[in-house]
Each structure stands twice: as structure tokens, then as C-alpha cells.
Amino acid sequence: MRDDGSAVLRMRVKAVPDKGKANAAVIALLAKALGVPKSAMTLVSGDTARLKTIQIEGDPAALAAGVDELG
């Protein structure tokens, strides 16, 4: 939990931040962890930043439960 009240999930990937490779790795890792297809995820902001916002399509209750299990 951040000071502003927003929740943050920390992730590390081995992919280099070159031509979107690290962003794709983050999406793939998060999709696998939540059990949703990569196509259900969209990088909303943070393309070149360390802090990213990812929109996930799916059942809100199931996604919230999955995120709670992760972090």
C-alpha cells in the first residue's frame, strides 16, 4: 500500500526494457499468476516508467481474489 492509498504489486522480470520486452514479460507473468489470457490485459500507462497501470478484463471478484493471493 502506498502513502496515497493505492495498492502496488511489485514484480521483477529478467527481460530488458528494450522495445517493450520488459512490459510484455510483466503482462505474461501477471496473466499466468492470475489465470487470465494475456489478451485480457492492456498497459494503460507507464510504457517507459517503472510504475505501470495495467487494465485487466474479467470477473472483478475473481480478479480481486487473485490479486489478494499474490500480494
**Residue 13 counted as domain residue:** no
Instruction: Quickly count helices (H) and strands (E) in the chain.
Output: 2, 2
pLDDT value, residue 14? 94
**Residue 2 counted as domain residue:** no
Give the whole-angstrom CA distance, residue 28 versus residue 13. Answer: 10
Residue where the block lists cell 487470465: 36
**Residue 33 counted as domain residue:** yes
Containing structural domain, residue 42: 21-70
How many domains in the chain?
1
Entry pTM: 0.84
**Residue 57 counted as domain residue:** yes
**Residue 38 counted as domain residue:** yes
Segments of the chain with pLDDT less than 70: 1, 71
Instruction: Kindly state the DSSP code that residue 56 receives in the 8-state scheme.
Output: E
**Residue 15 counted as domain residue:** no
Nearest-5° Cα angle at 43, 38 to 45? 170
Strand, coil or helix: what is 20?
coil
